[in-house]
Structure 1
Amino acid sequence: MLENDEFDEQKIQSPLQYIWSIFKGKSSAVMALWGIVILLLVTLLAGNIAPHIPSTLNSEYLLLPPYWFEGGSTAHILGTDDLGRDTLARLLQGTQLTLGGALLISACIFMLGTLIGASAALSKGLKSSVLLHLLDALLTLPTLLMALILIVLFGASYSNCLLAVLLSLLPQFIRGIYLCIEIELNKQYIIALRMDGATNFRLLRYGIFPNILEPLTTISIRIFTMAVLEISTLGFLGFGTQLPNVELGSLIAGSLDLIYLAPALVLFPGITIFIIILVFNVFAEGVRHSILEGEE
């Protein structure tokens, strides 16, 4: 007698579903994914979950240590600074501006860089040559130096800081996309698609992009990491957010004079930057390995 499922067809997974099934087996990458979810919630809800207003001064509670140390208070879990401002509230605001800015910059760079890089790779002649040499010239300058030059021209503010970081990192992403697509264009299956009459859009959509997901992930996470570090660096140097707003770099800069009296004021923002970079890189590495295993 035939069993009920004898003629059941096996469901074929899509490429994304197959990559996800591999990714779920990597415990460190899954933990990093949950860490990213938590960081995104903190970024979106920082103003609602902060126990105090970050800029509120309180002369009665100056340089309170974290509550688990002697002299700490549960009203200020991570303590206060030299003006009585709540450390946790300022740390949440700093995370919101630093991580939120880095994500916004990375998204803009991804869209603009992909469009420009793909257009340059698919074009020929003078236009492609001029763009390629222009990118080579821009890449001779360190990205942080370029960001500093731009921020001096634009003026010190948070929005100008984001714009300067975006413009300094965009050439790197464009160059990376250009090289990835250029390598794929020389492969036999792309030549066959072209001979079959495929348009540039179909080449990109069905031929090139599905095969450059792994290097694209690597380039994207590198750009995001550099964006976090550059936003923090410009904030540390005083070219980013201006008081009363703060981000993680400006938090460290404003507490350096107190490092011996209240080291936690420098330690907490530094640990937060480290956690952001670590979590996103572990997640990206898990995605990259899942893509590679899915291609085998």
Structure 2
Amino acid sequence: MLINNEFNEQKIQSPLQYIWAIFKGKNIAVISMWAVILLVLITLFCNYIIPYPPTLQHPEMLLLPPYWADGANPAHLLGTDDLGRDTFSRLLKGLQLTLGGALTITIIISMLGLMVGATAALTKGVKASVMHHLLDALLTIPTLLTALILIVLFGMSYENSLLAVLLSLLPQFIRGIYICIENELNKQHVIALRLDGATNLRLLRFGIFPNIIEPLVTLVNRVFTMAVLEITTLGFLGFGANLEELELGALIAKSLDLVYLSPYLVLFPGIAIFLIIIIFNIFSEGVRHAVIEGEE
């Protein structure tokens, strides 16, 4: 962890600098990082870069193929649907809703899950026992089934589908954090901090959280992946986005009747979902391996 500067003096790298040095040595991880940044920027600024309003119809240009196929129109890069709406614009809007929703869910679950999971792990007695058994009971129900039940109760809309997915995935994350912290509590360095009179906050900050970064990255990535899949599944089943909210799963469902006339309308949203998941998983694996190597 020693590096030389221009005066040939030795300087100790911080843990984050050391992890970054390992991470940037992995080419595929760095490529995935830039791809993640690009996807996030598209999500944030989608409304400013789409060439046409997603619901704008061009009656004279129905079911146009992508620009590389015969009969294409260069004004519509990925063609149009059966109402003449620009496929590229609708795909970008769907990407914004799916990826933006999944990232929002992941951030909220990460913050809530860390607080609740840490509190549960450090709490003893009846309250800890009740929370422990409650989480076990919730985990016996498949998350998608939980989301479907919740969205029926809340009503069918894009916002309610995000809330349903969030509430269905939250118990899994809390349980994962609980197990990670519980495993750390019996280690010698944590016991030493306890004997030294450390408060629970100091115990978490200096004794536990630095040692659970690797499983935490895995948990966050798992929540994100499941959020993407559940949002698109609910949209495909008709429980999520409405006609004006073009989530990727809903785009696929609305294009199934046209799959033989224009298979691109189903293919492009499916590829977008696949790329979102594979890019974020590669990035997560790169971070996880950098953390593991940094701890060795």
Q: Is the TM-score greater than 0.5?
A: yes
Q: 1:253 to 1:6 in 2, by over 3 A?
A: closer
Give distance in 1, aligned partners of 2:15 and 2:30: 19
Task: Rate the CA distance shift 1:13–1:251 in 2: closer, same or farther, 3 A.
Answer: same
Give how far 1:243 is off. Answer: 1.1
Structure 2 partner of 1:253: 253
Which residue is 1:130 aligned to?
A: 130
Aligned to 2:145: 145
What secondary structure, in the 3-state scheme, does the structure 2 residue paired with 1:77 have? coil
Aligned to 1:205: 205
Match for residue 91 of structure 1? 91
Q: Distance in 1 between matches of 2:38 and 2:290?
A: 23
Q: Which residue number corresponds to residue 113 of structure 1?
A: 113
44-53 vs 166-175, which moves further: 44-53
Distance 2:125 2:148 in 1: 34
Residues 1:221 and 2:221 are matched in the alignment: yes
Q: Conserved in 1, the CA contact under 8 Å of 2:59 and 2:83?
A: yes
Question: Could you tell me which residue of structure 2 aligns to residue 265 of structure 1?
Answer: 265
Cα deviations by residue, 1:163-221 (Å, 9 ceiling, x for unpaired):
00000000000000000000000111111110010000011001100000000000100
Q: Which amino acid aligns with 1:210?
A: P
- For 1:110, give the aligned amino acid: S
Residues in 2 aligned to 1:52 and 1:170: alpha-carbon distance in whole angstroms: 37
Q: Counterpart of 2:276?
A: 276
Q: What is the rounded CA distance, in whole Å, between the counterparts of 2:266 and 2:165 in structure 1? A: 24
Q: How does 1:42-121 map to 2 (within 5 A)?
A: 42-121=42-121
Q: Matches of 1:73 and 1:49 in 2, distance apart?
A: 19
1:54 and 1:102 map into 2 onto residues whose CA distance is 21
Q: Which amino acid in 2 is paired with 1:273?
A: I
Structure 2 CA distance for partners of 1:6 and 1:92, relative to 1, 3 Å: closer
Q: Secondary structure at the match of 1:11?
A: strand
2:243 paired with 1:243: yes
Residue of structure 2 in register with 1:286 after alignment: 286
Q: 1:225-277: per-residue Cα shift (whole Å, max 9, x none)?
A: 00000000000011111112211000000000111110000000000000000
CA distance, structure 1, for counterparts of residue 137 and residue 170 of structure 2 = 13
Residue 6 of structure 1: CA displacement? 11
Alignment-mate amino acid for residue 226 of structure 1: M
Alpha carbons 2:158, 2:245 under 8 Å: kept = no
Give the SS at the match of 1:271: helix
Alpha-carbon distance in 1 for matches of 2:97, 2:250: 11
Number of aligned residue pairs: 292
Distance 1:6-1:133 versus aligned 2 partners, 3 A rule: closer
**Structure 1 residue 9: deviation in Å?**
3.0
In 1, Cα distance between the equivalents of 2:193 and 2:255? 59
Opposite residue 187 of structure 2, the aligned amino acid is: K
Tell me, what secondary structure is at the counterpart of 1:76? Answer: coil
Give % identity: 70
TM-score, scaled to structure 2: 0.97
CA RMSD of aligned residues (A): 1.1
* Structure 2 CA distance for aligned equivalents of residues 6 and 263 of structure 1: 59
Give the match for residue 171 of structure 2: 171
Letter in 1 for 2:50: A
State the TM-score, normalizing by the size of structure 1: 0.97
Residues 108-117 or 49-58, more deviating: 49-58
What amino acid sits opposite 1:204 in the alignment?
L
Residue deviations 1:72-123 (CA, integer Å, cap 9, x gap): 0111000000011000000000000000000000000000000000000000
Change (3 A) 1:177 1:54: same
The AA in structure 2 aligned to 1:170 is L
Residue ranges of structure 2 left out of the alignment (5+ in a row): none
Q: Which amino acid aligns with 1:231?
A: I
SS at match of 1:51: coil
- What CA distance in whole angstroms lies between the structure 1 residues aligned with 2:7 and 2:220? 44
Quote how far apart the aligned CAs of 1:8 are: 4.7
Q: Which amino acid aligns with 1:194?
A: R
For residues 66 and 46 of structure 2, the distance between their equivalents in structure 1, rounded to whole angstroms, comes to: 20
Match of 2:157 in 1: 157
CA shift at 1:7, angstroms? 7.7
Measure, in 2, the Cα distance between the counterparts of 1:244 and 1:212.
42
Mapped to 2, the partners of 1:117 and 1:244 lie a distance apart of: 37
Q: Give, in whole Å, the separation in 2 of the partners of 1:147 and 1:244.
A: 22
Q: What displacement does 1:45 show?
A: 1.1
